[in-house]
Chains A and B, each alone.
Chain A
Amino acid sequence: EAQVTQNPRYLITVTGKKLTVTCSQNMNHEYMSWYRQDPGLGLRQIYYSMNVEVTDKGDVPEGYKVSRKEKRNFPLILESPSPNQTSLYFCASRRTGPPTGEQYFGPGTRLTVT
């Protein structure tokens, strides 16, 4: 089954404790992306990757890091989480060709930073 998986689904942590949210897709997609969803704001892009070892900032990259060492995986790293990073996070992937807005989303990771 074609899918994007994320782990963990729920995470409660404390300020400053490094964490990693994993994302994996089995569709051989070149493009992967991370979004955060906040009430009334829709989805905002954090980082994206056009292919292995190619990553770039989205609209809200501050406080986040990513890496793309393998095509299927795109982990999101919070080196020193803060309460304003409490949010619902989604990983997504898509193929290169059009329509480029046809993205496949993971189930989401709800992060709470206290």
Chain B
Amino acid sequence: GEDVEQSLFLSVREGDSSVINCTYTDSSSTYLYWYKQEPGAGLQLLTYIFSNMDMKQDQRLTVLLNKKDKHLSLRIADTQTGDSAIYFCAETLGGGGYNKLIFGAGTRLAVHP
């Protein structure tokens, strides 16, 4: 079935690294995504990784993909208070011009001094 799972809460100290984990179900997913939702705002695409990649780095963000275990992670280096938000993992299912985006429940990241 369609299911993307992630832990609901993560608390880190400012300056430390944050690692948000996600497991997905569809091994045929072409892309996997991380979205960020700041308080009172809509979701914003943070980064995505193509399924034939193991890792993608973008400034402070590192995405790791383990296709064998269907595990995706987002690492935020030098976490800042501005990184406090809800982070959603998502995969796309389907084909033929329509791809359904399936979201996890979201991980609330709290950054404390």
Contact = CB atoms under 8 A, between A and B. Distances in A.
Do chains A and B stick together as partners? Answer: yes
The 9 A-B residue pairs whose C-beta atoms are closest, nearest first, are: A105-B42, A100-B99, A42-B103, A42-B105, A99-B31, A43-B103, A105-B43, A101-B92, A101-B33
Interface residues on A, range: 20 to 34
A34 to B, nearest CB: 12
Interface size range on B against A: 20 to 34
Contacts, number: 64
| Best-buried of B42, B91, B104 by chain A (most CB within 10 Å) | B42
SS of A interface (majority): loop
A75 interface: no
Contacts of B48: 99, 101-102
A101 B99 contact: yes
Contact of B43 (A43, A99, A100): A43
30 contacts: A4-B42, A40-B8, A40-B105, A41-B105, A42-B4, A42-B88, A42-B103, A42-B104, A43-B88, A43-B103, A44-B103, A50-B97, A92-B42, A96-B97, A99-B30, A100-B92, A100-B99, A101-B33, A101-B92, A101-B99, A102-B33, A102-B48, A103-B43, A104-B45, A105-B42, A105-B44, A106-B42, A107-B40, A107-B42, A108-B41
